[in-house]
Amino acid sequence: MPDPMSIEVRDLRHVYAENSAFQSVALNGVSFTVNDGDFLALVGHTGCGKSTLVQHLNGLLKPTSGQVLVDGEDLNGEQVDRRQLRMKIGLVFQYPEYQLFEETVAKDIAFGPKNMGLDQKEIDERVRTAMEQVHINYDKYAQRSPFELSGGQMRRVAIAGVLAMHPSVLILDEPAAGLDPHGRDRILGIIRDLHRSGTTIVMVSHSMDDVARLATRVAVMAHGTLQALGTPREVFAQTELMAGAGLTVPDAARLCTALREKGLDLPPDLYTQDELREHLLRLWKEAAPC
């Protein structure tokens, strides 16, 4: 069971290449808290600062101003060992399969635990569990080269490489990007299982349907600022705000709005397919009593 951990972001600002022709403001005054046990989804249009934001959460980028507090302590303080912290706050980058480098799958997954200075027995143990967690058969694949695997498998191996460090918080930047529906479901299933077993999750995503299915909280970003933060129900009910941020709402919410416009008696804040089906069935039964 991972240790509880919270991350608080206070008025975070990040400017790339300050005072030059290339200057661009990526984040402009972002504040929010990730509580222990959260599944926070970060959504926003391309270039809104999501990726920059997640790279601040484990100290890979330094804020231009503002703070990131981990359990109340400033991440960029002088006494903080950021390398140690990065092992507790795991970050899976976009297209993580491009970071694989070792000769075998097992060795690659062991890279993180090895950097933590664990002994060989513990490392082997962790590699085995991490592979199980991402549904890659240990006996079959551990000694294979990671470059022989399929794209989806490589992605899962890369995620296992971060899981093997047993992070309390797992941050994923578009973990399902570029995968086929099957690979996508697999990855999202893995992330859901991790959340259920107590890992705090922060996930950047483009798919509102995935967010609707998994997240407990949603943060909407646009132009480097936070536009909305709340439960999926609260956020997805604000269709206009979502459109302003260049986003759509989940398919079920859109269908619900369209049906309401046609005069159907549905609550305005439905956003998952299951809820919508239930309400429609109820209406159906009421309309045809026989």
Partner 1 sequence: MLKNLTLGQYYPVDSWVHRLDPRVKILLTIALIVAVFLVHSLVGYALILAFMYLVSRLAHVPFKLLLKGLKPLRFILILTFILNVFFTASAEETPLLKLGFIEIRESGLRQAVHFSLRLIFLVISTSLMTLTTSPIQLSDGMELLLSPLKVLHFPAHELAMMMSIALRFIPSLLEETDKIMMAQMARGADFESGNLIARAKAMVPLLVPLFVSSFRRAGDLAMAMEARCYHGGEGRTRLRVLKLTIDDLQAALWVLVLILLICAEPSLLPKAWLL
How far apart are CB 59 and partner 1 at their closest, in Å? Answer: 9
Q: Looking at residues 140 to 179 of the shown chain, list those that interact with partner 1 (rule: CB under 8 A).
A: 147, 161-162, 165
Name which of 112 and 250 has its Cβ closer to partner 1.
112
Find the part of the chain contacting partner 1 (CB under 8 A) among 111-119, 122-130, 196-204, 250-258: 111-119
Q: Is 101 in the site for partner 1 (CB under 8 A)?
A: yes
100 binds partner 1 (CB under 8 A): yes
Q: Is 90 in the site for partner 1 (CB under 8 A)?
A: yes
By CB under 8 A, name the one of 15, 69, 116, 255 that touches partner 1: 116
Examine residue 58 and tell whether it contacts partner 1 (CB under 8 A).
yes
Residue that has been written with the tokens 């222990």 in this structure: 36
Instruction: Check residue 146 and give left, alpha or beta (phi > 0: left; psi -120 to 50: alpha).
Output: alpha
To the nearest 10°, the Cα dihedral for 105, 59, 84, 4?
-90
Minimum CB distance to partner 1 smaller for 64 or for 273: 64
Alpha helices (H) in the chain, listed in sequence order: 50-57, 82-88, 105-115, 120-133, 138-141, 151-163, 181-196, 208-214, 232-236, 239-244, 251-261, 273-287
Q: How many CB atoms lie within 10 A of CB 288?
A: 7
Provide the residue count of the chain: 290
Residue numbers at the binding site for partner 1 (CB under 8 A): 17, 21-22, 55, 58, 60, 83, 86-87, 90-93, 96, 98-101, 111-112, 115-116, 147, 161-162, 165
